[in-house]
């Protein structure tokens, strides 16, 4: 069964590693060229190292290894003008745009509600994962419309976009607020862009084996809060998913097989959101 993805072009934020890299390589295997962007720098209050320029270059190398083209740009999704330039340069080089994956994300845990960095952590989390998603939609929508071929946008939310999972500190509050907030953006833009045959959906992963949860800071926080381990168990007997599990769902959403799917919140969560 064909996916209809050959020779299409995807714009992927947070592409340096983790889910973003997996999405790029998986789409490339189906014939998609990629515009890859990442901040490639650490951000204040985030308690683990973020992707580097070398990481982003490695994603591009893996895409090219699949026989596809890759354009890379270092950009912060909170900076709409810079994000717009990166998008426009990538489209100019690759010739079209068909798929947009608003994937950039980060995770804070272990702060205190009275810590002086609490509000800054809130700002960083919300800025990247809510403002950054809206910026991604804003800079890409006109090119998708003008292309006249329709298209597909997938926003990475989380099971935390369907359930309340914060510990009441700034970073997690920002994460929860953003992951819920992008569902509203998705439903809005599904209506706005639907007449142009552009579909918009969110995916909601449970825990995924990436640096977002494999870092020392997250491990220390879980060790200090053992009750969290029980709350965050999946229904299926698997502790975490692999990035490719989310990538495979995205391939379906953006492919011909998902051509009539829009406005949905798709859990890829091993049953996490239905757990009693």
175 among known catalytic residues: yes
State the DSSP H helix or E strand holding residue 154, giving kind and residue range, or none if neither: strand 151-156
- Residue 115 burial by CB count (10 A; 0-12/13-18/19+): exposed, middle or buried? middle
User: Distance between CA atoms of 92 and 117, rounded to whole angstroms?
Assistant: 40
Catalytic site residue from 48, 175, 189, 260: 175
CB-based contact 55:92 (threshold 8 Å): no
Q: How many CA atoms lie within 13 A of 29 on its CB side?
A: 10
CB-based contact 218:48 (threshold 8 Å): yes
Distances (CA, A) of 276 to 135, 230, 234, 268: 36, 11, 10, 17
- Residue 120 burial by CB count (10 A; 0-12/13-18/19+): exposed, middle or buried? middle
List the catalytic residues. Answer: 175
């Amino acid at each position: 069964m064909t996916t209809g993805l050959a020779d299409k072009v995807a714009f992927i934020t947070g592409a340096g590693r983790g889910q973003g890299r997996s999405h790029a390589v998986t789409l490339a295997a189906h014939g998609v060229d990629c515009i890859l962007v990442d901040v490639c720098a650490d951000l204040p209050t985030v308690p683990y190292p973020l992707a580097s320029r070398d990481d982003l270059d490695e994603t591009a190398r893996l895409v090219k290894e699949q026989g596809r083209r890759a354009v890379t740009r270092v950009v912060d999704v909170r900076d709409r003008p810079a994000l717009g330039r990166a998008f426009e340069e990538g489209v100019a080089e690759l010739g079209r745009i068909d798929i947009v994956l608003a994937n950039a994300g980060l995770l804070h845990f272990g702060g205190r509600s009275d810590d002086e960095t609490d509000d800054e952590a809130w700002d960083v989390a919300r800025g990247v994962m809510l403002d950054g998603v809206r910026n991604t939609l804003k800079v890409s929508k006109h090119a998708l419309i003008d292309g006249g071929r329709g298209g597909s946008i997938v926003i990475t939310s989380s099971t935390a976009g369907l359930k309340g999972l914060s510990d009441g500190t700034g970073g997690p509050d920002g994460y929860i607020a953003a992951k819920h907030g992008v569902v509203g953006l998705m439903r809005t833009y599904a209506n706005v862009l639907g007449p142009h045959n552009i579909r918009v959906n969110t995916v909601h992963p449970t825990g995924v084996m990436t640096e977002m949860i494999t870092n020392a800071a997250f491990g220390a926080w879980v060790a200090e809060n053992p009750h969290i381990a029980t709350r965050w168990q999946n229904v299926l007997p698997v502790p975490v998913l692999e990035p490719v599990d989310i990538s495979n769902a995205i391939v379906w959403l953006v492919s011909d097989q998902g051509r009539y799917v829009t406005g949905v919140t798709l859990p890829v969560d091993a049953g996490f959101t239905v757990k009693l």
